[in-house]
């Protein structure tokens, strides 16, 4: 049987890893796929030949990505350019030319996936994107296939390794955010502009995809609430630890009677939870299904070979299904296209969660009572409170509070009123809390 011919767009970190895996494991991959797989045409503006094993096995390398997607010899296009443009135009052109597509581009899928999948259905081709979420962790396959019998209740994931590395260092070594961020950049974990990582945008792209797969709704990145970790302070990490919690930057999506929660934010979780002990640059996704209960998926969320592992696994899946009737393939978003629901994505103000609060208040009688009174008027019940010692000569003290679950809108109103008190100094710190119990 003739080999399946691949067109590869991009020879950067993941593209180079994909070449290495496809060539190094060629015989094993062919045994699994049923046919040999060859990279016939690759396009890259620049690449480092010394860093990529197997370049000599590529049929042709040029700098013309458009020529790759138009090449009649190509069966499958692997898009590893990243970003929105020209990736979107190239993917749509490949689909229009009748080629299957494999991509690791979470931003592209989260923002343009609905359009891409509709185009793929019209042309009867597949679009695979396992590497778009959690690198080498096969979470998309788990949701689309392994958990297909389940009514998914919620997902909570550490899906950005950079943020997890920063929070781990802050906890273990008591370091400040800015210092650890600089180290993450020096190590290559964070980009020169780290906004996507530390402000939660990268995680929100991934959570958008997970939410659609879990609940059968269209991709709606613009409705995903996003809050980063740049305002987390070392003292909050330490005090959370004293209370039996760890701070993780989580993506959380949950089905409720009112709609679907989609939110990315720093979160206190009990230190005994397995996911609370996922450290460094590793990723983990916790999924709660009604039949299977909680399941945890852990592994490398980035890197050349781990991500290439997911890319090549998608290629193998596509090769196996090349002769399959398009209507009998695994749906892009896990549910049949005409079965996607219009269940609303809830605004953050409608979400219920518990909270960690740090309020710096004047150390005098009546202040604590006034703060507690405001919380009570908004229906907010305090679970625990801890007043820290003031610094020498300081007239203000940190008040640490844990609350029971309450609607975000109520908490917003309470914090606005507390912040306006003359006895309160500085900005109130609010970190959401989740039990994540199964």
Q: What is the pLDDT of residues 143-156, one digit of tens each?
A: 999 999 999 999 99
Catalytic residue among 141, 206, 248, 288: 206
How far is residue 53's CA from residue 49's CA, in Å, rounded to a whole number?
8
Of 314, 339, 364, the residue that ends a domain is: 339
How far is residue 248's CA from residue 167's CA, in Å, rounded to a whole number?
7
What does the chain come to in residues?
438
- Asked if residue 159 and residue 49 are part of one domain, the reply reads no
206 is catalytic: yes
Residue 346 domain-assigned (yes or no): no
3-state secondary structure of 324: coil
3-state secondary structure of 360: strand
Residue 438 domain-assigned (yes or no): no
Q: Which residue has the tokens 């046919």?
A: 35
Residue 402 domain-assigned (yes or no): yes
Q: Which residue has the tokens 């991709």?
A: 219
Strands 259-270 and 225-226: parallel
- Asked if residue 128 and residue 22 are part of one domain, the reply reads yes
Residue 200 domain-assigned (yes or no): yes
Q: What is the CATH number of the domain that holds 67?
A: 3.40.50.720
Q: Which residue has the tokens 């909680």?
A: 294
Q: What is the mean pLDDT of the chain?
A: 96
Residue 68 and residue 7 in contact, taking contact as beta carbons nearer than 8 Å: yes
3-state secondary structure of 68: helix
Q: What is the mean pLDDT of residues 288-310?
A: 96
- Asked if residue 49 and residue 94 are part of one domain, the reply reads yes
For residue 248, what are its two tokens? 């993780």
Q: What is the pLDDT of residues 202-225, one digit of tens each?
A: 999 999 999 999 999 999 999 999
Q: What is the mean pLDDT of residues 51-65?
A: 95
- Asked if residue 308 and residue 429 are part of one domain, the reply reads no
% of the chain at pLDDT higher than 90: 92
Residue 37 and residue 328 in contact, taking contact as beta carbons nearer than 8 Å: no
Residue 39 domain-assigned (yes or no): yes
Query: What residues make up the domain containing 366?
Result: 351-433
3-state secondary structure of 220: coil
Q: Which pLDDT does position 390 carry in this prediction?
A: 73
- Asked if residue 221 and residue 248 are part of one domain, the reply reads yes
* pLDDT greater than 70 at residue 438: no
Helices (H), 268-407: 304-320, 367-377
Q: Which pLDDT does position 257 carry in this prediction?
A: 97
- Asked if residue 86 and residue 14 are part of one domain, the reply reads yes
How far is residue 438's CA from residue 435's CA, in Å, rounded to a whole number?
9
How far is residue 204's CA from residue 196's CA, in Å, rounded to a whole number?
9
* pLDDT greater than 80 at residue 187: yes
Residue 373 domain-assigned (yes or no): yes
Residue 213 domain-assigned (yes or no): yes
From residue 106, give the alpha-carbon distance in Å to each of 89, 141, 258, 396. Answer: 15, 15, 27, 45
From residue 218, give the alpha-carbon distance in Å to each of 135, 227, 337. Answer: 22, 22, 9
Alpha-carbon dihedral 189, 192, 195, 197, rounded to 10 degrees: -10
Residue 184 domain-assigned (yes or no): yes
For residue 318, give the nearest of 138, 151, 124 by alpha carbon: 124
* pLDDT greater than 90 at residue 160: yes
Q: What is the pLDDT of residues 371-409, one digit of tens each?
A: 999 999 999 999 999 888 777 768 889 999 999 999 999
- Asked if residue 327 and residue 218 are part of one domain, the reply reads no
Query: In degrees rounded to 5, what are phi and psi of residue 391?
Result: -70, 160
- Asked if residue 164 and residue 288 are part of one domain, the reply reads yes
* pLDDT greater than 90 at residue 325: no
Q: What is the CATH number of the domain that holds 188?
A: 3.30.360.10
Of 238, 273, 300, the residue that ends a domain is: 300
- Asked if residue 68 and residue 23 are part of one domain, the reply reads yes
Q: Which pLDDT does position 327 carry in this prediction?
A: 80
- Asked if residue 144 and residue 131 are part of one domain, the reply reads no
- Asked if residue 125 and residue 229 are part of one domain, the reply reads no
Strands 259-270 and 424-433: parallel
Question: How many domains in the chain?
Answer: 3
Q: What is the CATH number of the domain that holds 384?
A: 3.30.70.260
Angle between helices 26-33 and 13-24 (to 10 degrees): 80
pTM for this prediction: 0.95
How far is residue 79's CA from residue 90's CA, in Å, rounded to a whole number?
8
- Asked if residue 370 and residue 221 are part of one domain, the reply reads no
* pLDDT greater than 80 at residue 258: yes
């Amino acid at each position: 049987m003739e080999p399946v011919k691949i067109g590869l767009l991009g020879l950067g970190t993941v593209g180079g890893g994909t070449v290495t895996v496809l060539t190094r494991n060629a015989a094993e991959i062919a045994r699994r796929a049923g046919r040999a797989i060859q990279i016939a045409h690759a396009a890259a503006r620049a690449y480092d030949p010394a860093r990529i094993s197997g370049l000599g096995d590529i049929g042709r390398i040029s700098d013309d990505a458009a020529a790759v997607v138009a090449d009649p010899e190509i069966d499958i296009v692997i898009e590893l350019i990243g970003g929105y443009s020209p990736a979107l135009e190239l993917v749509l052109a490949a689909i229009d030319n009748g080629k299957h597509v494999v991509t690791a581009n979470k931003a592209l899928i989260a923002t343009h996936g609905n359009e891409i999948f509709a185009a793929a259905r019209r042309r009867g081709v597949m679009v695979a994107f396992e590497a778009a979420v959690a690198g080498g962790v096969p979470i998309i396959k788990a949701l689309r296939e392994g958990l297909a019998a389940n009514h998914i209740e919620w997902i909570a994931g550490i899906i950005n390794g950079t943020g997890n590395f920063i929070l781990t260092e802050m906890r273990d070594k008591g370091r400040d955010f800015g210092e650890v961020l600089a180290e993450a950049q020096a190590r290559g974990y964070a980009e020169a502009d780290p906004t996507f990582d530390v402000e939660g945008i990268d995680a929100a792209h991934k959570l958008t995809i997970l939410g659609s797969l879990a609940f059968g709704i269209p991709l709606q990145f613009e409705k995903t609430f996003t809050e980063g970790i740049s305002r987390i302070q070392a003292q909050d990490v330490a005090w959370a630890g004293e209370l039996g919690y760890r701070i993780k930057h989580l993506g959380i999506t949950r089905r409720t009677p009112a709609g679907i929660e989609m939110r990315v934010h720093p979160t206190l979780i009990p230190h005994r939870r397995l996911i609370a002990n996922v450290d460094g640059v590793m990723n983990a996704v916790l999924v709660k299904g009604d039949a299977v209960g909680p399941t945890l998926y852990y592994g490398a969320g980035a890197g050349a070979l781990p991500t290439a592992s997911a890319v090549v696994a998608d290629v193998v899946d596509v090769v196996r299904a090349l002769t399959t009737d398009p209507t009998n393939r695994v749906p892009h978003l896990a549910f049949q296209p005409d079965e996607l629901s219009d269940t609303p994505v809830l605004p953050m103000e409608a979400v219920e969660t518990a909270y960690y609060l740090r309020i710096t208040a004047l150390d005098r009688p009546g202040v604590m009572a006034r703060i507690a009174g405001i919380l009570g008027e908004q229906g907010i019940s305090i679970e625990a409170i801890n007043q820290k010692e003031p610094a020498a000569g300081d007239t203000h003290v940190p008040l640490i509070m844990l609350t029971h679950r309450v609607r975000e809108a109520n908490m917003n109103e309470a914090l606005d009123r507390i912040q306006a008190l003359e006895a309160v100094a500085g900005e109130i710190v609010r970190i959401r809390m989740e039990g994540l119990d199964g």
